Structure 1
């Protein structure tokens, strides 16, 4: 079992939902990323997704695209994400996963990427552009290494394909709440609950909802229907706004927001 499997087993026994912030590695610098990471557990986060900046974003909205660009302009490299994990995974005390393009994994080498990530303290990878038809080799490798491979299901994914994606995933399944790109939204689709409930009946994997969660109100609405919630753009935006005042101010700003999310989820 991976650290993510252990996490969801514990949360299930406690009847709690996972809160999963997303941050971009190296935005605007690694010092800020490290400061925010260290603040997350005490604020109530259960897991953190660490975005690996990439020059060709897949489904990222303008906020996350801008964060990737800032990091790349400051010379961010994949090795920086690995060093970040080595330096901080043991200090953070919650599982970390990379959000990474399959093109990066393929270039590094499937086995080598998993080995590097595990050595750096990462518990898994979310790979948004890995086609299920091409996932078998990487899926088997990840299972053998107790390294979770998280894949995405969208509202437009045919149901037969959703089952295939679930079968090749591990750790949890990332349910994209809306069609389109990442970003904060005030309204979410009316059929979201129905779609997630159907998927829940097809797999034993925890189902976590991401895309569009703008704040505590949205989180409270979605919490009863998911095993976890993923919050990205709302956090990345706050980091960008506070980072000019230094890493500690960015960490304090994010910590305050995550505490609000935690309270909303637990009260739902």
Structure 2
């Protein structure tokens, strides 16, 4: 019954927003590289600066953009993104404001947008209303780090009705059987990718990627390969050499905390801030090409 309902949903959405995520990964694969996914917090350091930074990241070569929805208790995030989240909240940024930012970005660019936030505000806003308005604002997918697949039924259904992908996180401590169950849920159409968390802990820029990362990605790949589901790596990714390493064995790299630091360092000069974001993303994009 559920499968029939999902099939009807996809027929209704002839070009589901989530398909744009798949197209971005497919295009990058044809070009022999991984996708680059910058994360930027909506409303940080201000609405105007966050919008300018998002567009600068797109100019720099971002393939997809994660738009952070601020929350008072972001458990998966380290101090850097927590600070950005709290500052955005102090500026009055809520879901409505975040959807407005997404809408403005979508009006200027076709780069797929993924909304990343916590379940409490979404639940308070109304799951169906949130998904409906997210799709209308130009979003293609959702990442809700504190929502496990076992409890995601209502949001999964509402997202799929709007053609949105619901993207799940897989940390490196996850047993193979659980990876397989997450992959099965994530592979339902419309779908996005698997977000592989590089380390046990919270977000934040690191000097180096963990030594177990390649073997962890190989474990996830064994489960995802039958579904041809892309794998993106996030948490701790901040340097061009990190992206170059990830490009060897994964399909995407997510960078977040380093961008928050960059925005703060150039907060007093909007033009310098935009240039810094654009140049930083270009430096990462140059390293997405897989070396022979």
Give the TM bin, normalised by the shorter chain: over 0.9
2:246 to 214, 222, 242: 222
- The secondary structure found in structure 1 opposite 2:195 is strand
- Give the Cα separation in 2 of the matches to 1:86 and 1:214: 27
Q: 2:212 aligns with which of 175, 179, 191?
A: 191
Task: Output the CA distance in 2 between the equivalents of 1:187 and 1:13.
Answer: 28
Of residues 200, 205, 210, the one that matches 2:221 is 200
Equivalent pairs counted in the alignment come to 267
Residue deviations 1:149-179 (CA, integer Å, cap 9, x gap): 1110001122211122222223011000011
CA distance in 1, matches of 2:59, 2:91: 29
Contact 2:248 2:290 in 1 (8 A): no
Match of 2:113 among 87, 91, 96: 96
In the TM superposition, residue 193 of structure 1 has moved relative to its aligned partner by 0.7
Deviation at 1:267, TM superposition (A): 5.8
Match of 2:287 in 1: 264
Q: What RMSD over aligned residues (CA atoms) do the two structures have, in Å?
A: 1.4
SS at match of 1:220: helix
1:189-221 CA distances to partner (integer Å, 9 max, x unpaired)? 222111111211211210000011121111112
Any gaps of 5 or more consecutive residues in structure 1?
Answer: none
Specify every segment of 5 or more residues in structure 2 that has no aligned partner in the other structure, as ranges.
Answer: 1-15
Q: Report SS of the residue matched to 2:142.
A: strand
2:176–2:219 contact (8 Å) kept in structure 1 = no
Higher mean C-alpha displacement, 162-171 vs 234-243: 162-171
The answer for the alignment partner of 2:11 in structure 1 is none
SS at the partner of 2:75?
A: coil
Residues 181-190 or 146-155, more deviating: 181-190
User: What is the rounded CA distance, in whole Å, between the counterparts of 2:237 and 2:56 in structure 1?
Assistant: 20
Q: Report the CA distance between 1:77 and its aligned residue.
A: 1.5
TM-score by length of 2: 0.87
* Contact 1:136–1:168 (CA under 8 A) maintained in structure 2: no
State the Cα distance separating 1:228 from its structure 2 match: 0.3
Matched, 1:245 2:269: yes
Q: 1:180 aligns with which of 179, 186, 201?
A: 201
Say which SS state the counterpart of residue 36 (structure 2) adopts. strand
For normalisation by structure 1, the TM-score amounts to 0.95
Matches within 5 A, 1:1-268: 1=16, 2=18, 3-169=20-186, 170-203=191-224, 204-246=228-270, 248-266=271-289, 268=291
